[in-house]
């Protein structure tokens, strides 16, 4: 363990983005940062050596999934999540509020907690804010999330208000349940698509006091314009000297918008999920490796990319692997997509540092408009987080 949690804001320009550095007991990482998702203690198809090689500094696991399987007590007995997985870098664990919403057929929210049936075997469980903190502490997470009531979309103002108020009450209980300073705890701003509720939630969480603040309950079906409006409004309220985390976003374009509204941390299943469906991210847009046009294509996925996949394999070979259902296809595709995301974050940080975000954004979209290799929306397929 290398020390406690801290956040250092290195630079912040309104409308441009923020540069920061977050220290945790298992090392530091630069922000803005993208966190690959390894819900069950594994980023699908990749091992820790792959993640380190492509530039991953922190990734996300999910307390809900690990609580159900293999069980918190198993992970704790085997030395905690870092040792269990063979990963010595920072880990953030999500509390599971969104997974309970999206995966569980039976979900009953009560003032004390949430009762649900496991999506694995139908067994009945009851999670409280205190229990969720204890689970994450036993897992050994560096950054923990409070249990929140994540409502679906669309939702009425009254329902959103009730969820926001319950999330605040649970956040107070989670803060009291946290033991010591070994783990950071983030609050989660809720409020649906209602500005008044988001403002109230942010102010309430700031009064409680957390190590960082997440923006939750977005990208659940609302229009993108509303997502960005709620994000920008929320970041304008949250304190400058604490990290801000936009949960479950998103596409490269989403990340650019999020960065410019003052977000420091992002996560999404998108790059690895798309890798498993043959969708690859490139400097000129997304590429569908299944397309017949690539059957004899000797070029790498992206000639501008320096990842292991692009340095060693052709589009033709990757297409062959994918259509043959070879497991190597998923690994090589995931390496490329995550390398692309980490490279994007590195380039964004450099642009913020050099005060060239406007130029960077123009060039980013200009490359996508040149038609030099990207597939159309229909050919590329719909991207869903």
Q: Which two tokens stand for residue 209?
A: 């006091």
**How many Cβ atoms from other residues are within 10 Å of residue 208's Cβ?**
14
Catalytic residue among 204, 267, 302, 375: 267
- Rounded Cα distance between 125 and 69, Å, is 13
In angstroms, rounded to a whole number, what is the distance separating the alpha carbons of residues 316 and 61? Answer: 34
For 333, residues 6+ apart whose C-beta sits below 8 A from its C-beta are: 274, 275, 276, 278, 280, 289, 309, 318, 322
88 a catalytic residue:
no
On the CB side of 1, CA atoms within 13 Å amount to 11
Angstrom distance (rounded) from CA 216 to CA 203: 15
Angstrom distance (rounded) from CA 271 to CA 259? 18
Q: How far is residue 59 CA from its own chain's centroid? A: 8
Distance CA 122, CA 212 (A): 34
DSSP 229: H
Residue 267 designated active-site = yes
Which one, of 205, 221, 232, 212, lies nearest residue 58 by Cα? Answer: 212
Distance, CA of 280 to CA of 268 (rounded, Å): 15
Q: Which sequence positions are flagged as catalytic?
A: 94, 267
């Amino acid at each position: 363990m290398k020390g406690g949690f801290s956040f250092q804001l290195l630079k912040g320009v309104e409308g441009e983005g923020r540069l920061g550095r977050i220290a945790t007991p298992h090392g530091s990482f630069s922000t803005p940062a993208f966190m690959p998702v390894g819900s069950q203690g594994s980023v699908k198809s990749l091992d820790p050596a792959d993640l380190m090689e492509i530039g991953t500094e922190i990734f996300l696991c999910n307390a809900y999934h690990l609580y159900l399987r293999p069980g918190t007590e198993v992970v704790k007995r085997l030395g905690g999540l870092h040792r269990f997985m063979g990963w010595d870098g920072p880990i953030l664990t999500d509390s599971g509020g969104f997974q309970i919403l999206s995966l569980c057929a039976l979900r009953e929210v009560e003032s004390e907690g949430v009762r649900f049936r496991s999506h694995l075997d139908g067994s009945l469980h009851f999670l409280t804010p205190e229990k969720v903190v204890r689970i994450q502490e036993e897992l050994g997470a560096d950054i923990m999330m409070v249990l929140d009531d994540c409502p679906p979309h669309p939702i009425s103002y009254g329902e959103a208000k009730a969820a926001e108020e319950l999330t605040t009450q649970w956040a107070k209980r989670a803060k009291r349940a946290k033991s010591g300073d070994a783990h950071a705890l983030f609050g989660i701003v809720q409020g649906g698509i209602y500005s008044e509720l988001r403002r109230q939630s942010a102010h309430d969480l700031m009064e409680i006091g957390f190590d960082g603040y997440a923006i939750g309950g977005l990208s659940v079906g609302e229009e993108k314009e509303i997502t960005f409006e709620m994000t920008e409004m929320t970041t304008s309220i949250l304190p400058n000297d604490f990290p801000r985390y936009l949960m479950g976003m998103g596409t490269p374009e989403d990340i650019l918008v999020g960065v410019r509204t003052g977000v420091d941390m992002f996560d999404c299943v998108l790059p690895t999920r798309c890798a498993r469906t043959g969708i690859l991210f490139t400097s000129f847009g997304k590429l569908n490796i299944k397309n017949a046009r690539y059957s004899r294509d000797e070029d790498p996925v992206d000639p501008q990319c320096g990842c292991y996949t692009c340095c060693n394999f052709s589009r033709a070979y990757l297409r062959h692997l994918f259509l043959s259902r070879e497991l190597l296809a998923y690994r090589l595709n995931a390496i490329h997509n995550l390398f692309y995301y980490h490279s994007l974050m590195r380039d964004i940080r450099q642009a913020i540092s050099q005060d060239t975000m406007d130029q960077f954004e123009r060039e980013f979209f200009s490359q996508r408009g040149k038609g030099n290799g990207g597939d159309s929306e229909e050919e590329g397929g719909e991207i869903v987080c």
